[in-house]
Amino acid sequence: MGTVIKGENLSKWYGNVLGLSEISVDISKGIQGLLGPNGAGKSTFLKILTGQLKPNIGEIRIFDEPVFNNQELFHRIGYCPEFDAYYREVTGWEFIRFKSALFGYSKKETDQRALTAIEKVGLTDSKDRKITAYSLGMRQRLKFASSIINDSDLLILDEPLRGVDPLWRIRIIKMLKEFEEEGRTIIVSSHILSEIEAMTNNVILIHQGKIFAHGDIQEIRDLIGSHPHKVSVVCNDARGLAKKMISDDLLLNIQFLDNEQKVIFETDKRDRFFDTLTYTISNSAINVSEITSPDDNLQSVFDYLIGR
């Protein structure tokens, strides 16, 4: 497969703050997940990718062309930014039509493409409402619509599912998979592993401005699996629950809090632990009011991996 995006030794600073450090990427067709905790450098990378920022060191090329100030390249690129940014005085239709017109299509094609894009995200009925009257999820879908007007070869999506309701998440993910089948390239950034997992197996992990790992998502899953997890359970019989759980060889540590209303389990066998916990609760008279897993996020996985 041919290279779509090629970046070499990309580094970016904001004054003394490091945004990206010596990142090299070679991205081909398909969906590429860009994963990392908030503040990892994903957005900086995407801003360099879309020509909003210039790397201090290194070079990035898309379709073998330089990006910065190369506005013609955007005939082949669609971009959905992370910001909840919109023009306050216009309707959804006026915005999408404006974006469509900027591609230089004929009037008829401009209208047709704008209409198709707005239909795809389910905003046809509310297209004549001002964007200020949209919910966050609707604005997010509108932004997504603006990125798919030109049927681009490369679609760059920065946190595209943020604020989108579950039904539309599924639909957007389905749409992206269809785009992939059409042979297009899609870069999706997220700080939520399950979002990326639903779209692709191919991920780049960014942390502290560097590429931490690049490859199959299953490897990331395995890393999470071996990562010691704390699971907090609030129930009416914390000690009884702990007694039942301890009989299995799953736990590294147990701690009781809040007058034994809460128990915190530490395990390094996450999947088995949750299977056992579900089984134990469903086969006992223990009433559980809350189960939380503070470690079940990317930040804690990264912290664990880099040995903090």
Positions in the binding site for another protein (CB under 8 A) = 12, 14, 17, 19, 38-41, 43-44, 47, 50-54, 69, 71-75, 77, 79, 81, 83, 85-90, 94, 98-99, 101-104, 146
Q: Alpha-carbon distance 3 to 177, whole Å?
A: 19
* Cβ distance to another protein smaller for residue 43 or 126: 43
* Cβ distance to another protein smaller for residue 211 or 245: 211
* Cβ distance to another protein smaller for residue 94 or 165: 94
CB 205 within 8 A of CB 190: no
Q: How far is the CB of 6 from another protein (least distance, A)?
A: 19
At residue 123, what is the residue type? L
List the 154-158 sheet strands across, edge first.
77-80, 154-158, 185-190, 30-35, 202-207, 210-216
* Cβ distance to another protein smaller for residue 44 or 280: 44
Q: How far is the CB of 256 from another protein (least distance, A)?
A: 38
At residue 218, what is the residue type? Q
* Cβ distance to another protein smaller for residue 107 or 308: 107
Q: How far is the CB of 87 from another protein (least distance, A)?
A: 6
Q: How far is the CB of 146 from another protein (least distance, A)?
A: 7
Q: Cβ contacts of residue 186 below 8 Å, gap of 6+?
A: 30, 31, 32, 154, 155, 156, 157, 176, 179, 180, 199
Q: Alpha-carbon distance 184 to 145, whole Å?
A: 16
Phi, then psi, of 10 in degrees rounded to 5: -75, 125
Q: How far is the CB of 262 from another protein (least distance, A)?
A: 34
Q: Alpha-carbon distance 148 to 5, whole Å?
A: 19
* Cβ distance to another protein smaller for residue 54 or 214: 54
Q: Alpha-carbon distance 133 to 161, whole Å?
A: 20
Q: How far is the CB of 147 from another protein (least distance, A)?
A: 9
